[in-house]
Amino acid sequence: MNSPTSSGCPFHQDAPSPTAAIPLNPPGVWPPGPPTGLTGWSLLNKMSRDLLGTLTAWQREFGDVVHLRFWPEHEIVVTDPQLARELLLTHHDALIRWERGIRIFSQLHGHSVLTAEGDAWRNKRHTLQSSFSPKAVQAFLPTMAATTQQALAQWPTDDPHWPIESALTSLTMEVILQMTFSGGIGADARIAENAVRVVSAAANAEFYWPASLPDWVPWKRAKRQALADLKGLIERYLQTRLKVPRHARPDDLLTRLLALHESDASAWPLQAVRDECMTAFLAGHETTAATLVWWAWCMASNPEAQAVARAEVAQILQGQVPTPDTLPSLNYLTQTIKETQRLYPTAAVLFSRRSTKPITLGAWQLPARTMFLVPVQLMHHDPRWFPEPSAFRPDRFGPEAPEIPRGAYSPFGIGPRVCLGQHLAMTEMTVIAAMVLQRFNLSVPEGMTAPRPVMNVMLRPDQPVHLTVTSAASVPA
């Protein structure tokens, strides 16, 4: 077949070496996998009911490279960290993302950096990179802290059943709106929160069908309304900003995007500005909110770890808000967030890829148009890489911990498509987590069972999470 692809991409500098020494299976021989029946669509049905559980069962039965055949596709599930890195690094130039999935996402995200391919993606990514660099993120830290301080002041100091998922979602919406538009969401918060849930559920359901009915059919009314609500939210911010003279505009993401439009309207039409704003809003709050909800659950259900993190926050911050100087010293708190991302990665399954030409992956010679699926969650829960994988152990990411195999931990993805906003997300989550622990103790309400993770585009709790919150001042030192 082919040799590994080459690229000038910096991610390839430490890519795995070619696996030429591995004995190759002949072309046309596929890895083992479950029986397909007549069409294989029964496999899709199983995946739609419980994607992670189904993939876990297949990995146990067939190994780290599993072949799924559902007409007209061949899909390879890769759960070996080295092969996952080889696929997404070495063969990056031979892959595109699943076309149908992109069409579904494009209904909301348009042609943003999230959905673009090829040169269009490279140009957008290069242009936007500076706005999400560590230095640029540091400049937003005072906004994060001030927005968080204002939101937490509205939380109760003693509530046995506080809707923490909704509260954290509203808070992360407020933070990303301040950074993107220099404005808050106010009364639109509940509408936007519901709209995000509706469109996520609709997209997740459509992934498992070979085609979608048009959105005008009567039973898609909720989806139509949700799309209209989210697009209307972005449009209001855009139209308001266009009325502001250039010299009076705040230094936020919208102003930077409008500067691109005004310097080259053919490359950056207003629709492109809308698309990037939508992606920034959704990706900027949804994944962060989901991780913080899981983090809050981990803190509540692991009080000893919560106490250690709170003591560190008290010692480092001395009652002040986090700053660029103090934030890097919150080492144990960062470990709790990383361990939360290991247990509950919001991108539990990376977006499916399709090969545009034949590639060799490990011992397998695979033809063009093969689909590939990389379930991050399965690698994060593999006892070969993480002993006692179901246990919450922040020390896995401590300075004395054994080295984790490359590719086994990838909450933000792998390769050139790694999350553009990863520095922003980690900074925001650390700021919010630190300030929550300064003020509140989190515990599990009496009789509550652990929330069950379910895939709804992202990994979410099956039911809205409520926790008991009390004042941190009442916690013994």
List, as residue ranges, the binding site for heme: 419
Q: Which residue has the tokens 């993401």?
A: 253
CA dihedral 205, 208, 209, 214 (to 10 degrees): 30
- Phi, psi of 30, deg, nearest 5: -100, 155
Rounded Cα–Cα distance for residues 470 and 116 (Å): 45
Give the type of residue at 176. I
Query: 71 Cβ partners below 8 Å, 6+ apart?
Result: 39, 40, 41
Tokens of residue 425, six digits = 């997300």
Give the type of residue at 283. A
DSSP 8-state code for residue 246? G
Q: Among 254, 278, 285, 298, which residue's Cα sits nearest to residue 429?
A: 285
CB atoms within 10 A of CB 97: 18
Compute the radius of gyration of the chain from its Cα atoms. Answer: 23
DSSP 8-state code for residue 459? E
Cβ atoms of residues 208 and 45 within 8 Å: yes
Distance from chain centroid for Cα 87: 20
Phi-psi region of 443 (alpha: psi -120 to 50; beta: other; left: phi over 0): beta
Q: Among 214, 109, 64, which residue's Cα sits nearest to residue 457?
A: 109
* Residue 459, strand partner residues: 455
CB atoms within 10 A of CB 160: 13
Angle, helix 221-242 to helix 253-263, in steps of 10 degrees: 70
> How many CA atoms lie within 13 Å of 297's alpha carbon, on the beta-carbon side?
25
Rounded Cα–Cα distance for residues 342 and 377 (Å): 8
N residues, the chain: 477
* Residue 159, strand partner residues: 469
Cβ atoms of residues 86 and 372 within 8 Å: no
Instruction: Give the residue numbers of the binding site.
Output: 419
Which contiguous run of DSSP H or E holds residue 456?
strand 453-456
Number of H helices, E strands in the chain: 15, 12
